[in-house]
């Protein structure tokens, strides 16, 4: 601990500092849960659902053609046009649409009408309204998939709570919204999770990629399992294809209480103010939607107890969610003993004229929260690698926390090495455009499968 940091602050963040023993325990517990999710008998009561994605083919590099893609999953909504020209040339045009926050908790109809409207606008701008291109829909929420183009929403996560969607086939809801407009021709051939898009996109260039990971607004991973182990897939014993991508939905790990030993009182406060209390326990310890709020809660607790900022609290920092997760990356980007980014963050929060020990304390709190996130993520990846029982693997990764936090990659790598059996080699690679190129690749698989019928 830095010498300038008050011991009271050290005590407050102690709960975030998980040691090797606890990490090993997390791996053991997660291994059990993943096995339960995969097995037919235990799937219904499993918390890590291990959903079958129905994607059985990794890219060959020979996929070609034009595809549309939709990307809905967190803070942004995008429409993309992807042209797979050759294995080294992929053209992507995309447009982000301003996603009104009210849509996140409004009616399902309003949400899907907005998606259809944006899609229509995009198609008209690019002269695609009469083309009937195949579309891959990256929908980054837990889906019970009944085929490549049929997915029932199991629950909303990441702050969404639109009415009338849980329990419904999301592809039909999109199609109905498109049909209500009647001004574009769209053929939704595949719906996929963002982790699956990330894996596919990375595998296009790195054939040894077998795991897709997202550490962004939410967190989740998928991996390539043997089809015979994917017991919830109808054809698990008869399919001629040896592999199946499994969407773990690891965010729900701990919803049955098995993660209490790595949670803190601050985690419990965050959980209570979300639209899905008691759900997505692992995700709430790891992902960008929650990390900033965890830091803020520790800070205001320390201010109230008089251990930071001379007890002086700004209005801004009292607002829920005002400490953005991006601030953690900013604060931790300063070199030791320097506070340029930290000063900027503090001034945005209306906290002026504080002393070096306060800034050190803030950094210490940020490090505690981000390093727990990286450690838990490392546990998750190690669980999956052990389950796959392989000695070499590439992991494709996307998400704002992984991309922008200055030390996340190194922390992940360091802790994975410590937890893995000696001799297991892995590479962590940023996967570009999972929800564009990845969605197009899954759509290409779907089109190919249909043409063989």
User: Pick from 53, 169, 188, 195: which binds ligand BGC (CB under 6 A)?
Assistant: 195
CA distance readout (Å), 271 to 22, 99, 265, 372: 22, 24, 10, 17
159 CB-near residues (< 8 Å, 6+ apart): 104, 274, 275, 289
Q: Helix crossing, 340-348 with 325-333: angle to 10°?
A: 150
Single out the residue of 37, 134, 142, 436 in contact with ligand BGC (rule: CB under 6 A): 142
CB of 141 to ligand BGC, least distance (A): 5
Instruction: Report d(CA 109, CA 64) in Å as an integer.
Output: 34
Q: Tell me: does residue 157 bind ligand BGC (CB under 6 A).
A: yes
From the list 37, 108, 197, 251, which residue makes contact with ligand BGC (rule: CB under 6 A)? 251
Among 77, 112, 114, 141, binds ligand BGC (CB under 6 A): 141
Q: How many chain residues touch ligand BGC (CB under 6 A)? A: 18
DSSP string, 75-94: S-EEEEEEEE-SSS-EEEEE
C-beta of 74 vs 108, nearer to ligand BGC: 74
Contact status: 255 vs ligand BGC (CB under 6 A): no
DSSP state of 336: T
Residue 76 CB, nearest approach to ligand BGC (Å): 11
194 as an active site residue: the answer is yes
Closer to ligand BGC by Cβ: residue 84 or 401:
401
Q: What residues are paired with 225 via a beta bridge? A: 244
Q: How many CB atoms lie within 10 A of CB 234?
A: 12
Tokens at residue 153, please? 């929403």
Chosen residue from 194, 225, 330, 367 binding ligand BGC by CB under 6 A: 194
Rounded CA separation 70/78 (Å): 6
- Catalytic annotation, pick one of 53, 118, 120, 140: 140
Residue 373 is a binding residue for ligand BGC (CB under 6 A):
no
Task: Report the residue from 140, 169, 383, 445 that binds ligand BGC according to the rule CB under 6 A.
Answer: 140
Question: What is the Cα–Cα distance from 330 to 349, expressed in whole angstroms?
Answer: 13
Contact between 73 and ligand BGC by CB under 6 A: the answer reads: yes
User: Under the criterion CB under 6 A, does residue 267 sit at the interface with ligand BGC?
Assistant: no
In the region spanning residues 281 to 300, those forming contacts with ligand BGC, defined by CB under 6 A, are 283
Q: Nearest distance from residue 74's CB to ligand BGC, in Å?
A: 6
Q: Does 254 interact with ligand BGC (rule: CB under 6 A)?
A: no
Name 81's bridge partners. 68, 93
Tokens read off for 329: 């990356």
The smaller minimum CB distance to ligand BGC, of residues 253 and 309, is found at: 253
Q: Find out whether 138 and 192 touch, Cβ atoms under 8 Å.
A: yes
Nearer to ligand BGC by Cβ, of 249 and 255: the residue is 249
Backbone φ and ψ for 97, nearest 5 degrees, come out as -110, 135
Kindly give the interhelix angle for 265-272 and 288-304, rounded to the nearest 10 degrees.
Answer: 120
Any contact of residue 220 with ligand BGC (CB under 6 A)?
yes
H or E stretch covering 365: helix 356-388
If the CB atoms of residues 99 and 309 are measured against ligand BGC, the closer one turns out to be 99
Catalytic residue at 267? no
User: 221 or 230, CB closer to ligand BGC?
Assistant: 221
CA end-to-end span of the chain, whole Å?
63
Please pick, from the candidates 63, 249, 301, 360, the single residue that binds ligand BGC as defined by CB under 6 A.
249
Minimum CB–partner distance for residue 399 and ligand BGC (Å):
7
Using CA atoms, how far apart are residues 75 and 303, in angstroms rounded to an integer?
30
Binning the chain into helix, strand and coil, the percentages to the nearest 5 are: 45, 20, 35
Of the pair 104, 300, the CB lying nearest ligand BGC is at: 104
Residue 431 near ligand BGC by CB under 6 A? no
Q: Residues 194, 301, 358, 433: which is the catalytic one?
A: 194
* Cβ–Cβ < 8 Å for 397, 221: no
Q: In residues, how long is the chain?
A: 453
Shortest Å, Cβ 400 to ligand BGC: 10
CB of 249 to ligand BGC, least distance (A): 6
Is 214 one of the binding residues for ligand BGC (CB under 6 A)? yes
The two three-digit tokens of residue 260, written as one number: 């209490």
Q: Which residues bind ligand BGC (CB under 6 A)?
A: 73-74, 140-142, 157-158, 193-195, 214, 216, 218-220, 249, 251, 283
Positions annotated as catalytic residues are 78, 140, 194
């Amino acid at each position: 601990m830095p010498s300038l940091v008050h011991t009271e602050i050290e005590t407050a963040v102690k709960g975030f500092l998980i040691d090797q023993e606890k990490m090993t325990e997390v791996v053991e517990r997660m291994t059990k849960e993943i096995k339960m999710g995969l097995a037919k008998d235990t799937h219904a009561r499993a918390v890590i659902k291990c959903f079958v994605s129905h994607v059985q083919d990794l890219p060959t590099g020979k996929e070609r053609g034009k595809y549309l893609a939709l990307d809905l999953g967190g803070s942004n909504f995008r429409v993309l046009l992807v042209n797979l020209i050759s294995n080294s040339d992929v053209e992507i045009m995309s447009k982000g649409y301003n996603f009104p926050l009210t849509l996140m908790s409004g009616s399902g109809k309003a949400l899907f009408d907005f998606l259809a409207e944006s899609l229509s606008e995009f198609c008209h701008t690019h002269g695609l309204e009469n083309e009937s291109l195949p579309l891959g829909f990256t929908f980054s929420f837990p889906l019970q998939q009944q085929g490549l183009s049929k997915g029932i929403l199991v629950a909303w996560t990441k702050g969404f709570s639109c009415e009338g969607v849980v329990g419904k086939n999301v592809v039909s809801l999109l199609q109905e919204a498109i049909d209500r407009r009647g001004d574009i021709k769209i053929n939704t051939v595949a719906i996929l999770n963002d982790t699956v898009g990330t894996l596919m996109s990375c595998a296009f260039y790195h054939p040894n990629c077998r795991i897709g990971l997202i550490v962004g607004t939410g967190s989740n991973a998928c991996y390539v399992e043997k089809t015979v182990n994917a017991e919830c897939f109808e054809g698990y014993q008869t399919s001629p294809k040896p592999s199946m991508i499994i969407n773990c939905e690891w965010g729900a790990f701990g919803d049955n209480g098995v993660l209490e030993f790595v949670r803190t009182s601050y985690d419990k406060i965050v959980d209570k103010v979300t639209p899905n209390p008691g759900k997505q326990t692992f995700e709430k310890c790891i992902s960008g939607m929650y990390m900033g709020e965890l830091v803020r809660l520790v800070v205001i607790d320390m201010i109230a107890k008089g251990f930071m900022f001379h007890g002086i609290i700004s209005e801004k920092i009292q607002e829920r969610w005002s400490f953005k997760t991006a601030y953690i990356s900013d604060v931790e980007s300063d070199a030791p003993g320097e506070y340029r980014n930290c000063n900027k963050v503090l001034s945005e929060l209306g906290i002026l004229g504080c002393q070096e020990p306060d800034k050190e304390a803030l950094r210490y709190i940020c490090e505690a929260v981000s390093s727990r996130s990286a450690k838990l993520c490392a546990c998750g990846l190690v669980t999956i690698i052990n389950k796959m029982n392989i000695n070499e693997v590439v992991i494709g990764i996307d998400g704002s926390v992984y991309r922008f936090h200055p030390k996340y990659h190194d922390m992940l790598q360091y802790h994975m090495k410590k937890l893995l059996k000696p001799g297991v080699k892995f590479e962590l690679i940023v996967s570009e455009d999972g929800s564009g190129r990845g969605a197009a690749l899954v759509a290409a698989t779907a089109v190919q499968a249909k043409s063989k019928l």
